[in-house]
Structure 1
Amino acid sequence: MMVREQIEAKLRAAFDPVFLEVVDESYRHNVPAGSESHFKVVLVSDRFTGERFLNRHRFIYGALSEELAGSVHALALHTYTNKEWASLQDTVFASPPCRGAGSIA
């Protein structure tokens, strides 16, 4: 199973999301081709109701502890309740460009 698929499966099981998108953004960074190390996660769940963003992120880090201890180097987390997601009109902010120096050949 690909790392992206593992992340998605664990987040679905842990959060019963209304919306979940896991995007492998490794190609935007200075990593060898085929690396699965940088991800953007958009997760909408009622489990986040009443929780600060820091706690939401901690919940995700806990669910993905194995991946974070392994090949996953970075997660861009966008976590919302259903109400917050509705007010954004399903808009997700783009990830910033990689700030790493040099390139991998």
Structure 2
Amino acid sequence: MVTSEDIKKRLETTLSAEVEVIDESHLHAGHEGAKSGGRHYRVKLKSARFNGLRTLARHRLVYDALAEWMKQEIHALAIDAAEDTTEDAS
């Protein structure tokens, strides 16, 4: 089973991002996705990889990074993906 820490590490590595992962599964108890074992997560990311990209393109990068888990382990994913415009961001 995938954990918040697994998601965090994957996104940090794949997108060179600052990442916060919040497991919101307890808010969805009894929901169909929860019954089958899928979890609900919220991710907040900041990455230079998002610079100049529209929201949809940023979300696609996140979904691509987590693709193998989106099939079963992650039922729902809320994404807040921000640009990293600090001077030393690469």
Q: Which has the larger strand fraction? A: 2
Q: Does 1:10 align with 2:16?
A: no
- The share of aligned pairs that are identical, in percent, is 38
Mapped to 2, the partners of 1:37 and 1:29 lie a distance apart of 9
Deviates more, 1:57-66 or 1:1-10: 1-10
Q: Distance in 1 between matches of 2:12 and 2:19?
A: 8
**RMSD over aligned Cα atoms:** 1.9
Q: List structure 1 segments (4+ residues) > 6 angstroms apart after TM superposition.
A: none
- What's the counterpart of residue 23 of structure 1? 22
Distance 1:36 1:4, change over 3 A: farther
**Distance of aligned partners of 1:36 and 1:3 in 2 relative to their CA distance in 1, 3 Å threshold:** farther
Tell whether the 8 Å contact from 1:4 to 1:36 is kept in structure 2 after alignment. no
Larger mean CA deviation between 22-31 and 55-64 belongs to 22-31
For 1:66 and 1:3, the matched residues in 2 are separated by 13
Q: For 2:65, which of 52, 63, 66 is the aligned residue?
A: 63
Residue segments in structure 1 that go unaligned for 5+ positions in a row:
84-105
Q: TM (normalized to structure 2)? A: 0.80
Number of aligned residues: 81
Give per-residue Cα distances to partners, 1:36-58, cap 9 Å, x unaligned: 61000000001100100000000
Q: Distance in 2 between matches of 1:2 and 1:42?
A: 17
Q: Which has the larger radius of gyration?
A: 1
TM norm structure 1:
0.69
